[in-house]
Amino acid sequence: MIPYGRQTIDEDDIKAVNDVLSSDWLTTGPKVAEFEQAVADYVGAKYAVAVCNGTAALHTAMHAIGISSGDEVIVPPMTFAATANCVVFQGGTPVFADVDPDTLLLDPVKVEEKINEKTKAIIGVDYAGQPCDWDSLREIADKHVLRLVADGCHALGAEYKGRKVGSIADMTIFSFHPVKHITTGEGGMITTDEPALARHMRLFINHGISTDARQREQQSSWFYEMVGLGYNYRITDFQCALGISQLQKLPKFLERRREIAAYYDKAFDGLFGITPLVVRKDSFHAYHLYVARVDGDTLNCDRTTLFTKLREKGIGVNVHYIPVHLHPFYMEKFHIGPGSCPIAESAYEQIISLPMFPGISDEDVELVALKVKNIICS
């Protein structure tokens, strides 16, 4: 089976992890700060806080901006559930605003319609690796005095009008799960330019305790204080060593992802019934996913048929995503359901994610494109 995504790990990565395993610090050691600095430098942010996964990073961000019971946060439905779940962790209410039909990115017009006196923040998701319309979202956030947060889990390396994702919103969240651009096994990061947010997040991910084990050792001190309620959301040093090593390969990974996308684009160009999502001219798309829409009315074959036939042929296509507001948890808890985000809901019937990862061979990319064409043209 050709998967839709997978990690690329080489000998340097393995050596980097091994070196840490025989060092003094498996966790709260020097590799954590080194990885944070490397990511901050890469995206052009002042601060980066590393955590154990992207979901913990989202939760940490929601805590840092003080989301609590009664607050509303606007999120898109076309995302992984964690984007909305992090609001619920804090007792808040995620409010789903529909997406743009061409890009499936949060639609600023729909966002503004959802704002009321309870709204505290907007979380934009750089879906598939393409940045949101951040200028419009920023304008809306400033006008209504809202926090602007980016779920950049698909978009490490992406750029919006020449600015890297990670340096645009008040806070940006990344994930280092194996299907993402770089991996630490499990891992996450929050980037920000605001020192107060960074300080708050460092406490929150370490039980709300004011110093970590290494700082205490350096100061030959046993004293610490818990100044707030926090979690243990720390990441280990061997994971961060892997992250540092992976980050060096990110430019190559991005180049390969864009090459694969260009191949698919060309293969489907001029074919009726299959349309890749629109890519905006002002962005550098990082292609976490390659998503196309399958129009069952034009073809003899709808998305689900194409999906089933490709899976039968060993091609691990996927669907990203089931709109979050259609999950039973959200429908029951927040009394929402079909009809509230019609654009995301109809896109969900048509979208398919094709295999997209740096390690896929040219032959496999050609095979995927050929099988898609054969099925939709038969």
Ligand X SMILES: *Cc1c(COP(=O)(O)O)cnc(C)c1O
Minimum distance of ligand X from residue 179's CB (angstroms): 7
Minimum distance of ligand X from residue 44's CB (angstroms): 21
Closest chain position to ligand X (CB): 54
Nearer to ligand X among residue 179 and residue 376 (C-beta): 179
Choice among 180, 249, 309, 371 that is catalytic: 180
Nearer to ligand X among residue 80 and residue 307 (C-beta): 80
Spatial strand order in the sheet of 274-276: 274-276, 290-294, 351-354
How far is the C-alpha of 250 from the C-alpha of 215, rounded, in Å? Answer: 31
The contacts of residue 248 (CB under 8 Å, 6+ apart) are 12
Nearer to ligand X among residue 249 and residue 288 (C-beta): 288
Nearest of 320, 99, 286 to residue 182 by alpha carbon: 286
Minimum distance of ligand X from residue 176's CB (angstroms): 7
Which parts of this chain interact with ligand X (CB under 6 A)? 53-55, 79-80, 82-83, 125, 151, 153-154, 175, 177, 188
Query: Is 110 noted as a catalytic residue in this protein?
Result: no
Minimum distance of ligand X from residue 55's CB (angstroms): 3
Minimum distance of ligand X from residue 187's CB (angstroms): 7
Minimum distance of ligand X from residue 88's CB (angstroms): 14
CA 230 from chain center: how many Å? 23
CA distances from 82 to 6, 87, 311, 349 (A): 20, 9, 26, 21
CB count within 10 Å of CB 235 equals 29
Nearer to ligand X among residue 125 and residue 148 (C-beta): 125
62, 177, 275, 316 alpha-carbon torsion, rounded to 10°? -140
Contact assessment for residue 125 and residue 79, using Cβ atoms and an 8 Å cutoff? yes
The contacts of residue 109 (CB under 8 Å, 6+ apart) are none
Ranges of beta strands (E only) in 161-271 are: 163-164, 171-175, 188-192
Nearer to ligand X among residue 175 and residue 350 (C-beta): 175
Q: Which long-range contacts (CB under 8 A, 24 or more apart) does 82-86 make?
A: 82/54, 82/55, 82/58, 83/58, 83/123, 83/125, 83/151, 83/324, 84/324, 84/325, 84/330, 85/55, 85/58, 86/55, 86/58, 86/59, 86/61, 86/62
Helices of type H across 296-351: 303-312, 328-334, 342-348
Minimum distance of ligand X from residue 21's CB (angstroms): 22
Contact assessment for residue 265 and residue 342, using Cβ atoms and an 8 Å cutoff? no
Nearer to ligand X among residue 154 and residue 285 (C-beta): 154
Contact assessment for residue 132 and residue 125, using Cβ atoms and an 8 Å cutoff? yes
Structure tokens belonging to residue 49: 């806080």
Nearer to ligand X among residue 60 and residue 192 (C-beta): 60
Residue with tokens 């607050």: 71
Catalytic residue list: 180
